[in-house]
């Protein structure tokens, strides 16, 4: 059983960066999402702005500052739309694979929303709650925030599953030549 809040949630790389830079403890899912969106948006805005300034200086002369402002604005908006859509898609995939884990993280991250009353005992309950997640913006944003805190556990579970499958595949590959050699000896 974890003894501290820091032990309960393993921070992601972004969380470790926030802890190293700001001295923060384990950040919330909302904070991780905002930090990731700010860094992604700023980098896309910079790249699009510089590209637009370069292209405008090549074709139109010295109006690079206006083109930079327009290009960086377009880059920021495109990054925000892409980042939100990607986060929602990842969150829904995680909910489909681990519905109870995602509900636990939603409940922990958003304590005042009454999510502890949601039951996922049957496949119909899971499907009904997924419908609510897809169609209600409040629930969708809570799911995205919960995914940010659940992602390290999901990655760990995926790694464990991968190692288990790889071990079984390797044991089958190694035992096949041995079985073939034993069957050849017994045939003699």
Asked if the structure places residue 174 within a domain, the reply is no
**pLDDT score, position 7:** 41
Q: Match 């944003």 to its residue by tokens.
A: 141
CA distance 78 to 37: 11
**pLDDT score, position 94:** 92
CA distance 64 to 143: 41
Asked if the structure places residue 1 within a domain, the reply is no
**pLDDT score, position 8:** 44
Asked if the structure places residue 6 within a domain, the reply is no
**pLDDT score, position 168:** 72
Residue 168, SS3 per DSSP = helix
**pLDDT score, position 108:** 86
**pLDDT score, position 46:** 94
Q: What sections of 98-136 are H helices per DSSP?
A: 99-109, 123-135
Number of domains in the chain: 1
Q: Which domain holds residue 112?
A: 11-150
Asked if the structure places residue 84 within a domain, the reply is yes
One pLDDT digit (tens) per residue for the chain, 188 residues: 444 444 445 556 666 666 555 555 556 677 778 888 888 899 999 999 999 999 998 888 788 789 999 999 999 999 999 999 999 999 999 999 999 888 888 888 887 787 888 888 888 988 998 999 899 999 999 899 888 888 888 888 888 888 888 777 676 666 555 555 555 555 55
Half-sphere exposure of 158 (CA within 13 A, CB side): 9
Angle of CA points 93, 148, 81, to nearest 5°: 75
Is residue 126 within 8 A of residue 120, CB to CB? The reply is yes
**pLDDT score, position 5:** 45
CA distance 153 to 162: 14
**pLDDT score, position 172:** 62
Is residue 45 within 8 A of residue 76, CB to CB? The reply is yes
Q: Match 């909910």 to its residue by tokens.
A: 95
Q: What is the chain's length?
A: 188
Q: DSSP character for 117?
A: G
Asked if the structure places residue 161 within a domain, the reply is no
Asked if the structure places residue 162 within a domain, the reply is no
């Amino acid at each position: 059983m974890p003894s501290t809040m820091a032990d309960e949630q393993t921070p992601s790389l972004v969380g470790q960066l926030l802890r190293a830079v700001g001295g923060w403890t384990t950040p919330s899912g909302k904070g991780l999402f905002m930090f990731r969106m700010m860094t992604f948006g700023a980098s896309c805005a910079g790249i699009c702005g510089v590209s637009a300034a370069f292209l405008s200086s090549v074709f139109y002369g010295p109006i690079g500052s206006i083109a930079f402002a327009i290009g960086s604005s377009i880059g920021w908006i495109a990054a925000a739309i892409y980042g939100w859509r990607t986060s929602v898609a990842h969150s829904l995939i995680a909910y489909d694979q681990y519905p109870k884990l995602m509900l636990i993280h939603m409940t922990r991250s958003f304590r005042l929303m009454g999510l502890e009353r949601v039951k996922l005992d049957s496949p119909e309950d899971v499907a009904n709650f997924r419908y609510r997640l897809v169609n209600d913006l409040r629930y969708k944003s809570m799911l995205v925030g919960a995914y940010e805190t659940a992602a390290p556990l999901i990655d760990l579970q995926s790694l464990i599953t991968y190692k288990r499958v790889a071990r079984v595949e390797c044991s089958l590959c190694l035992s096949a030549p041995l079985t073939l050699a034993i069957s050849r000896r017994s045939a003699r």
